Structure 1
Amino acid sequence: MKSTKPTYTIGHRNPDTDSICSAIGYAHLKQKLGENVLPARAGKINAETKYVLEAFKMETPKLITDLYPRVKDVTLACNIVVKETDNLRRLGEVLRKHDMKSVPVVDSHNHLCGIVTVSDLAKRYFNELSMQNLAEANVSLKAIVEVVDGEIINQGDMSQTVKGNVRIGAGSRETVHKFIKSGDVVLIGDRKEAMYIVAQQDISCLIVTGDGEIPANVLELAEEKNLLVVSSPYDTYTCARLVNQCIPVSMIMQKNVTTFKPTDMLSDIKGTMQATQFRNYPVVENEKLIGIVSRDRLSIPEREKVILVDHNERSQAVEGIEEAKILEIIDHHRLGGIQTSDPIFTRQEPVGCTATIVANMHWHRDIEIPADIAGLLLSAIISDTVLFKSPTCTPYDKETAEKLAKIAGVDLNEHGMALLKAGSGIGDMTPMEIAKNDLKEFQIGDYRMIVSQISVMDTEEVLALKDELIACMNSICEAEGYNMSLLMVTDIIEEGTHLLFTGNPKTIIGEAFHQDASGNLIYLPGVMSRKKQIIPPMVEASKKDM
């Protein structure tokens, strides 16, 4: 059976505008090529990206926090259930017809009530040492008529429930008076005198077995006493067994059921499965049964299929990327060492923005770019190149942006300034959110580092929080085991960066930028690009530090 699961285009963690817009743009291209591809994101969108999505009336892509296999990936549809009000005869028919060993029990709203197994049904019959007391099971007279395939001879009060036991009407008048009590259901064969004696008692129902003839005096008495009289084609022994099957499934089901949620990770449920040793487990969401998970399918879940955009390093990818099947990589960064099990399609170019690549892939394949998608891709280029001021910007980026602006129907510079302004303030961001803004992880020499960046028009607003920011950066390093944390506070107007840093070795900072790095802050005039102006000199400096 061909999979219906979509492939996701997804950018890096702590996504920026390029990461989000390129994911949407590339998903559009793949859809036009007839592929089931949807855009996704690996984190919260920032203020700039929010502005862009709202400006072009686009929905925020689906959030995927990790790609670890979950119960939902192996859940089977559960179309065969029994209701808690179904009787045991119905249960037996379901188990036999579908060759099942267990079946979930639900109420009228599909809420899981329990589970019932062949063993539960067998125990019920093993315990049938005598006729059953039906009063405790709240069995209706209607249910008894149905279970014995009865024909109603005298209507009686069908709405009432059984108040006594199931009895067989045999023996003398004295025996009948001794053993048959008020509210009982009485089974009797073709014995006319016994029928009349039994009908005189204050019973709930008289079942005449074997299609026996019912004399007129019994029918007259039944009419007078408003007694339900039923004729069944089965013999007395069979009727007795069938009546015992009219109790509801709720009486024998297991109520304490081991269930899983669709979001549970498979790695977390294996221990529970080993401890309980059931074959199937109900999958429940908001108390409703949505399927079952089988022990047999647990070892072969279908992997999520993803296309990475705007990154290619394991440290920047969504959690659990090693569990997914990477189909393609579309990027404009250095190669970062992600390994794949099979050869894949990659498109990497030394340009200022992934969206530049995505736009031109549309045109190379003669796929028209609609105005809203053009607006997103244009916005990504403006963001990543800081309106063409970044040293990463190439003529190819600017040429592509100009074409996209015409398609989107916007003034390039006017839209660019509005976009940068929307993302330039810190608003209600906390110091921790600023410290993690557009965070990317790098392995530089022997050191594991993170470099965040926030581009603003007023750097003083951010630098006023220096002490709090340094404390947050230290906290991130301690919690995640990084050697260093860097925060680029980039001035869009002055085209320079205030670099905050913490951790060790600070000598790399001094060596890379030829400044005194004994504190926690240096100014780098003309520096705007993390990719081109921060990482390369630090890589070279780390080689000298070895």
Structure 2
Amino acid sequence: MEGKETVYVIGHKNPDTDSVCSAICYARLKEKITGQHYVAKRAGHLNEETQYVMDKLGVQPPEYMKDVRPQVRDIQIRKTPGVSKEISVKTAWTLMKEQNVVTLPVTKENVLEGLITIGDIAKSYFQVYDSTILATAQTRYQNIVDTLEGTVVAGEADGIFKEGKVVIAAANPDMMENYIGTGDIVILGNRYEAQLCAIEMEAGCLIICEGAQVSKTITKVAKEHNCLLITTKFDTYTVARLINQSMPIRFLMKEKEGIVKFQTEDFIEDIQTVMAKLRHRDFPVEDTQGNYVGMISRRNLLGAGKKKLILVDHNERGQAVNGVETAEILEIIDHHRLGAIQTVSPVFFRNQPLGSTATIIYHMYQENQAEIDKNTAALLCSAIISDTLIFKSPTCTSDDVAACMQLAKKAELDIETYGREMFRAGSNLSGKSAKEIFYQDYKKFSVNNVAIGVGQINSMSAEELEKVKPRLAEFIQGVVQDNSAGIVYFLLTDIVSESSEVLCAGNNANAVIYQAFGVEVKDACVKLQGVVSRKKQFFPAIVEALQQ
């Protein structure tokens, strides 16, 4: 389990190659220069291009993190050890006092079987039990020995008291014959005749009080009759009072099926409601495999810590991982326009007008004089190639080109050949649904209180784009009807011809396109020659048109 001081480096909800590779490489850089624990995560599913890069470079993709709200695993979980359901009530009570707890988890091979509380034990003291209760509870003889702080004089204490009753031999031997039965537990003192009589009546166990010595004859006869002899320092009254505490806790515990428990992955705000409705002091916690982890109480929730985040390749709340408002943002590394993420305290914010976030991170490696290994160089190079469309995007700068050239040399990659392989892998659209294609690179923005959604796919095959176009044209209308955005555009970008066909949907979508580019929309579609960048060419023009 990752510790509370882990810092997560994460990109936007529809991760592209730049977002994923930048998260991995920046986490590596932060660990190099701080020695602390940084973990790359992703806020969405990988597209084919990024998966190709991960496979090609032999890199394990970052794990998916759907939500960064505080979880049970982010709070202090009390590591109360689990106990066996066979331990005695007295042992459970002693453990509670030693550990200063009121609840003990009952486990077997680290799997929760039940709970025993101080309330369960208290009720047992006031419950009126008959003399057969120890047999009913299937009490182990060793529990009796431990509870009475006794010593075994004859016999073995590894058996279970299954049949019989507990009796006190207060009468004379003649009368004892009337109430001692086979297998009974008999509590008595240092009276030779009574001891012998009980053994001959086939009692299963004799408890001899006040530390009395047992004669050799009684010991021999007891062995012959398979009768267990136990001596204890306590008097008869005390033994009679204590003996019921030898019952196994399984007789009193709450079974697992009736227990309210939580998982380490549960969100704090979800379990608070459950806790508020119940008067339990403690709740057990399991991991995702069903193993017992520890106990929590309402008090633990007060210390629920926020997850620590570094955002890369985005700075708008609409693109950020779910629950970002509950997290502590430490840094933002980006190359997009300034968005609307608000932070409680000042953060390190680096935003540069470059073609790729990876270029910024490359410069940060250099500034910190941190060595870039071959694998890291290949990841950063892949990100720059992807975001600049092999330097064809208008967002590409001389800094991007220079960085990519240096990284490609270090990684021993041919930029043109490798880039075409990447885009070919990413433009395999034939087996995907319209929804999968639409949302693989879709971002939402807000301009003058108008929600705008802009999706994009890049391909080196005009024929492939033409095949998926009808399906996407139908799907985009449903996106608007779902009220996820007021205006929605989708760019089908042909990398070879350096142009995009734009599908339009929503109120005033066509008029805004005309205002932005001076081109008439026909059949909810328009071709924009020379437009390949959503960030630098398409979206800025849309924003300007809306503001006018």
Letter in 2 for 1:522: V
Rounded Cα–Cα distance in structure 2 between residues aligned with 1:160 and 1:32: 60
After superposition, the Cα gap between the structure-2 partners of 1:261 and 1:158, relative to the gap in structure 1 and judged at 3 Å, is closer
SS at match of 2:229: strand
Rounded Cα–Cα distance in structure 1 between residues aligned with 2:350 and 2:247: 66
Displacement, 1:523? 0.8
- Tell me the equivalent position of 1:6: 6
Q: Could you tell me which of 362, 368, 379 is aligned with 1:376?
A: 379
Conserved? CA contact 1:141–1:162, under 8 Å? no
Displacement, 1:174? 4.6
Conserved? CA contact 1:385–1:392, under 8 Å? yes
- Tell me the equivalent position of 2:175: 175
Conserved? CA contact 1:22–1:377, under 8 Å? yes
Displacement, 1:360? 0.9
Matches within 5 A, 1:471-482: 471-482=474-485
Conserved? CA contact 2:444–2:451, under 8 Å? yes
- Tell me the equivalent position of 1:71: 72
After superposition, the Cα gap between the structure-2 partners of 1:83 and 1:478, relative to the gap in structure 1 and judged at 3 Å, is farther
- Tell me the equivalent position of 2:135: 135
After superposition, the Cα gap between the structure-2 partners of 1:535 and 1:156, relative to the gap in structure 1 and judged at 3 Å, is closer
- Tell me the equivalent position of 2:526: 522
SS at match of 1:283: strand
Conserved? CA contact 1:6–1:38, under 8 Å? yes
Rounded Cα–Cα distance in structure 1 between residues aligned with 2:158 and 2:366: 75
Matched, 1:449 2:452: yes
Matched, 1:508 2:512: yes
Displacement, 1:470? 2.8
Displacement, 1:75? 4.4
Matches within 5 A, 1:284-295: 284-285=286-287, 286-295=289-298
Displacement, 1:28? 1.3
Rounded Cα–Cα distance in structure 2 between residues aligned with 1:178 and 1:417: 98
Displacement, 1:332? 0.6
SS at match of 2:446: strand
- Tell me the equivalent position of 2:100: 99
Matches within 5 A, 1:61-210: 61-107=62-108, 109-128=109-128, 131=131, 133-155=133-155, 158-210=158-210
SS at match of 1:242: helix
SS at match of 1:202: coil
Conserved? CA contact 1:7–1:38, under 8 Å? yes
- Tell me the equivalent position of 2:486: 483
Rounded Cα–Cα distance in structure 2 between residues aligned with 1:19 and 1:237: 75
For structure 2, list consecutive stretches of 5 or more residues without a partner in the other structure: none
TM-score normalised by L of structure 1? 0.95
Matched, 1:262 2:251: no
Shifted more, 173-182 versus 353-362: the winner is 173-182
Displacement, 1:390? 0.6
Displacement, 1:217? 4.2
- Tell me the equivalent position of 1:307: 310
For structure 1, list consecutive stretches of 5 or more residues without a partner in the other structure: none
Rounded Cα–Cα distance in structure 1 between residues aligned with 2:174 and 2:508: 103
Displacement, 1:4? 4.5
Let me know the Cα RMSD of the aligned residues.
1.8
Shifted more, 223-232 versus 150-159: the winner is 150-159
Rounded Cα–Cα distance in structure 1 between residues aligned with 2:141 and 2:406: 79
Matches within 5 A, 1:145-544: 145-155=145-155, 158-255=158-255, 256-285=258-287, 286-506=289-509, 507-544=511-548
SS at match of 2:296: strand
Rounded Cα–Cα distance in structure 1 between residues aligned with 2:462 and 2:337: 29
Shifted more, 157-166 versus 479-488: the winner is 157-166
Displacement, 1:241? 3.0
Displacement, 1:435? 1.0
Conserved? CA contact 2:465–2:492, under 8 Å? yes
Rounded Cα–Cα distance in structure 2 between residues aligned with 1:156 and 1:55: 66
Displacement, 1:477? 3.0
After superposition, the Cα gap between the structure-2 partners of 1:30 and 1:160, relative to the gap in structure 1 and judged at 3 Å, is closer
- Tell me the equivalent position of 2:41: 40
SS at match of 1:469: helix
After superposition, the Cα gap between the structure-2 partners of 1:49 and 1:39, relative to the gap in structure 1 and judged at 3 Å, is same
Letter in 1 for 2:90: R
After superposition, the Cα gap between the structure-2 partners of 1:516 and 1:175, relative to the gap in structure 1 and judged at 3 Å, is farther
Shifted more, 322-331 versus 435-444: the winner is 435-444
Q: Quote the sequence identity (%).
A: 36
Shifted more, 325-334 versus 422-431: the winner is 422-431
Rounded Cα–Cα distance in structure 2 between residues aligned with 1:277 and 1:71: 19
Shifted more, 192-201 versus 304-313: the winner is 192-201
Conserved? CA contact 1:206–1:230, under 8 Å? yes
TM-score normalised by L of structure 2? 0.95
Rounded Cα–Cα distance in structure 2 between residues aligned with 1:156 and 1:290: 36
Letter in 1 for 2:102: K
